[in-house]
Amino acid sequence: ESAIVLGIYLVDYLDEMNSGAADDAIDELLGILAAYDRPVYLRFGYEFDGNWNRYEPEAFKAAWRYFHQRMVAAEVNNVALVWQSATYCSGRYTGAPLDAWYPGDEVVDWVGLSWFTQNEDCALAPLEEMLAFAREHNKPLMIAEAAPQRFAIENLTYSGSGRSFENVMADQIWGDWYEPFFTLIDENKDVIRAVAYINTHWDAQQMCGEPYRY
């Protein structure tokens, strides 16, 4: 009886979405999700403002609205669209403002963010911006991706680069990552309505291992 949270990777695919070339794939996906008969949170083009995704704002918004239009036409009622920012400390793609990618209140159900090293690198500034955005637009917020990157919990080590490691105590890991994480959730319960924690060996994944991108 669990809900489903699904991310759609759309890098180099927005033109197909907007031209109608992806209609069959869109309709197939919507049919599958509707058949599950349970809540689905669809992170459409997740981390839309990340430099690594290179989503042009106008093309992204158009693809979002096109997808939403087909979802309404198919009468799919169990899917909520989640607008997830990367909340990256080094800024957004092209330096555009956050709302440059926003397709509109009428087609967005949730807003979302990623949390990895933001407390350490930028004192939660991009996360605070997303919290303010959620309140301004009266949207529930999902912490859609969260993991204590740089810390190896089992080994009690820390690495800023993924190449060299230093030993740390468990209470330091708690104080540096987990305590700010749970504090922010507790202090913003009015708007944070869902949290996804990634419980995995981060460095073992090829795209996330050394050298660290974040």
Residues with a known catalytic role: 47, 145
Task: In whole angstroms, give the CA distance from residue 203 to residue 97.
Answer: 31
Task: In whole angstroms, give the CA distance from residue 116 to residue 146.
Answer: 6
Answer yes or no: are the C-beta atoms of 81 and 44 closer than 8 Å. yes
Closest CA to 49 of 159, 133, 147: 133
Task: In whole angstroms, give the CA distance from residue 42 to residue 7.
Answer: 6
Residues 6+ apart with CB under 8 A from 88: 47, 49, 50, 51, 114, 126, 214
Task: In whole angstroms, give the CA distance from residue 214 to residue 212.
Answer: 6
- Calculate the alpha carbon distances from 56 to 10, 21, 32, 138 in Å: 11, 19, 28, 25
Task: In whole angstroms, give the CA distance from residue 19 to residue 41.
Answer: 25
CA angle, 64 then 65 then 66, to 5°: 90
